[in-house]
Amino acid sequence: MITFEHVSKIYSNGVRGLQDVNLTIGNGEFVSIIGLSGAGKSTFLRSINRLNDITEGEVCVNGRSVTKAGKKELRAIRRRIGMISQNFNLVKRSTVQKNVLSGRLGYYSTWKSILGIFSKEDYELANDALERVGLLDKLHSRSDELSGGQQQRVSIARTLVQQADIILADEPVASLDPITTQKIMQDLKQINQTMGKTVIVNIHSVQLAKQFSSRIIGFKSGCVVFDGTPEKLGGKELTEIYGRNILEEKEGAQDEA
Amino acid sequence: MRLKDTVHFNWYKHLFIAVIIAICLVASAGVTGADFTEVFGNAEQMSIFMARFLQPDFAYIPNIIGPMISTLQMSVVGTAIGVAFAVPVAFLATTTVTGNQVLTTVVRFFLDIVRTIPNLLLAALMVAIMGIGELTGVLTIAVFTFGMVSQLIYEAIETVDEGPIEAAESVGANKVQIAFWSVAPQIMSQVAGYTLYALEVNVRASTVLGYVGAGGIGVILNSSLALLQYSRVSVIILMILVVVAIVDGVSEAARRRLS
Amino acid sequence: MMGAERAMNNRKWKTWAAAIVTAAVILVSAAGIDYSGLEYFSASMAGEVFKGLTRPDWGFFYDGSGEDLVSLLLLTVGIAFLGTAIATVLALPFTLISSSNLWRTCPWVAKIGKFILNVLRAFPELVYAIIFVRMVGPGPFAGVLAIGVHQIGMLGKLYTEEMEAMDEGPVEAMTAVGAGFWQNMFFARVPQLMPIYSSLSLNHFEIAVRSASTLGLVGAGGIGAPLIFAIQARKWDRVSIILIGVVIAVFAIDTLAGVIRKKLR
Look at residue A247 in the predicted model and tell me its pLDDT: 60
**In sequence order, what are the residues at sequence separation of 6 or more whose Cβ sits closer than 8 angstroms to the Cβ of residue A152?**
A84, A88, A172, A173, A176, A180, A184
| Amino acid C2: pLDDT | 58
Domain total in chain A: 2
Residue after which a domain boundary falls, among A138, A163, A188:
A163
What pLDDT score was predicted for residue C144? 93
Q: Give me the domain span that covers residue A98.
A: 89-163
Q: Give the integer Cα–Cα distance in Å for C63 and C76.
A: 17
8 A C-beta contact, residue A66 and residue A77:
yes
Task: Tell me, yes or no, whether C4 lies in a domain.
Answer: no
How far apart CA C222 and CA C55 sit, in angstroms, is: 23
Residue A14 CB neighbour total at 10 angstroms: 6
Q: Give the count of alpha carbons within 13 A of C251, CB side only.
A: 15
Whether C59 maps to a domain, the answer reads: no
- pLDDT tens readout for residues A128-177: 999 988 899 998 999 999 999 999 999 999 999 999 899 999 999 988 89
Q: Are residues A157 and A174 in the same domain?
A: no
Q: Which H or E run contains A60? A: strand A56-61
Tell me whether B7 touches chain A (CB under 8 Å).
yes
Alpha-carbon distance of A126 to A121, in angstroms, equals: 9
CB-based burial of residue A68 (10 Å sphere; 0-12 exposed, 13-18 middle, 19+ buried)? Answer: exposed
End-to-end CA distance of chain C: 50
Asked if A113 and C183 come within 8 Å (Cβ–Cβ), the reply is: yes
CB-CB under 8 Å, B7 with A116: yes
The pLDDT assigned to A95 comes to 92
Report whether A136 contacts A127 (CB < 8 A).
yes
**Which residues of chain B are under the pLDDT cut of 70?**
1, 259
Q: C39 lies in a domain? A: no
Query: Are the C-beta atoms of C156 and C91 separated by less than 8 Å?
Result: yes
Decide: residue C3, CB within 10 A, 0-12 exposed, 13-18 middle, 19+ buried. Answer: exposed
Instruction: Give the pLDDT confidence score for residue B41 in this predicted structure.
Output: 74
Whether residue A122 is found in the same domain as residue A13: no
Q: Are residues A257 and A169 in the same domain?
A: yes
Residues A107-115, mean pLDDT to the nearest whole number? 89
Mutate to test the interface with B, among A140, A143, A158 (most CBs of B within 10 A): A140
Residue type, C145: L
- Return the pLDDT at A257: 39
Whether the predicted pLDDT of A255 surpasses 50: no
Mean pLDDT of C47-62: 81
- Asked whether the predicted pLDDT for residue A253 surpasses 50, the reply is no
Domain count, chain B: 1
- Cα separation, A64 vs A136, in Å, equals 35
DSSP state of A95: B
Mean pLDDT for C9-30 is 84
pLDDT digit string, tens, across residues A171-222: 999 888 999 999 999 999 999 999 999 999 999 889 999 999 999 999 998 9
Chain A, window 183-242: residues with a beta carbon less than 8 angstroms from a chain C beta carbon: none
8 Å CB contact between A241 and A72: no
Tell me the per-residue pLDDT of A45-87, one tens digit each, with 9 for 90 and over. Answer: 999 999 989 999 999 999 899 999 988 899 999 989 999 998 8
CB atoms within 10 A of CB C138: 17
Please report the pLDDT score of residue A248 as a whole number: 57
Q: Helix, strand or coil for residue B107?
A: helix
Cα–Cα distance between B64 and A214 in angstroms, integer?
79
Q: Which residue of B has its CA nearest to A123?
A: B6
Domain annotation covers residue C45? no
pLDDT bracket for residue A37 (50, 70, 90) = confident
Query: CATH no. for residue A9?
Result: 3.40.50.300
Q: What is the pLDDT of residues C219-263, one digit of tens each?
A: 888 888 888 888 888 888 888 898 889 889 998 998 999 899 888
pTM: 0.85
By the 8 A CB rule, do C113 and C102 touch? Answer: no
pLDDT of residue A29: 93
User: Is residue A152 domain-shared with residue A169, that is, in the same domain?
Assistant: no
A164 backbone dihedrals φ, ψ, rounded to 5° = -75, 150
How far apart (Å, rounded) are the C-alpha atoms in residues A151 and A135?
A: 10
Domain match, A74 and A198 both: yes
ipTM: 0.84
Q: Which residues pair with A5 in a beta bridge?
A: A58
Q: C221 with C137: CB under 8 angstroms?
A: no
For residue C147, give the CATH number of its domain: 1.10.3720.10
For C20, counting Cβ atoms within 10 Å of its Cβ (0-12 exposed, 13-18 middle, 19+ buried), the class is exposed
* pLDDT grade for A246, boundaries at 50, 70 and 90: low
Query: Which residues fall within 8 angstroms of residue B205, CB to CB, at 6 or more apart?
Result: B119, B141, B144
Question: B136 near C35, Cβ under 8 Å?
Answer: no
The CA distance from C128 to C108, in Å, is 28
Q: How many domains does chain C have?
A: 1
Task: Kindly state the helix (H) or strand (E) to which residue A35 belongs, with its residue range.
Answer: strand A30-35
A97 and A62 belong to one structural domain: no
A123 in contact with C at a CB cutoff of 8 Å?
A: no
Closest Cα to residue C170, out of B8, A113, A174, A83? Answer: A83
Which has the closest alpha carbon to A202: A181, A172, A231, A232?
A: A172
Based on the fold, state whether residues A7 and A110 are members of the same structural domain. Answer: no
Region for A119 from its dihedrals, namely left if φ exceeds 0, alpha if ψ lies in -120 to 50, beta otherwise: beta
Mean pLDDT of chain C: 87
Q: Is C90 on the interface with B (CB under 8 A)?
A: no
Asked if A179 and A155 sit in the same domain, the reply is no
How many A/C residue pairs have CB atoms within 8 Å?
Answer: 79
Looking only at the bridges linking them, the beta strands covering A223-228 and A215-220 are antiparallel
Any domain includes B66: yes
DSSP string, C210-227: HHHHHHGGGT-SSTHHHH
Answer whether B6 sits within 8 Å of A116, measured CB to CB: yes
A117 interfacial to chain C (CB closer than 8 Å): no
Which amino acid would we find at residue C87? A
Query: CA A35 to CA A20: how far, in whole Å?
Result: 17
Asked if A41 and A137 sit in the same domain, the reply is no
From CA C170, how far away is CA C166, in angstroms rounded? Answer: 10
Task: Give the residues across from A18 on adjacent strands.
Answer: A9
CA-nearest residue of chain B to A120?
Answer: B1
pLDDT band at A256 (very low <50, low <70, confident <90, very high): very low
- B interface mutation test: which of C72, C126, C128 has the most B CBs within 10 A? C126
Contact status of B9 with chain A (Cβ, < 8 Å): yes
Q: What angle do CA B229, B127, C228 make, to 5 degrees?
A: 70
Q: What is the pLDDT of residue C37?
A: 66
Which residues span the domain enclosing B96?
52-258
Which residue range is the domain that position C212 belongs to? 65-264
Which of B17, B20, B21, B28 best tests the C interface by mutation, with the highest count of C CBs <10 A?
B28
**Region C69-98: what's the mean pLDDT?**
94
User: Do the beta carbons of residue C164 and residue C100 sit within 8 Å?
Assistant: yes
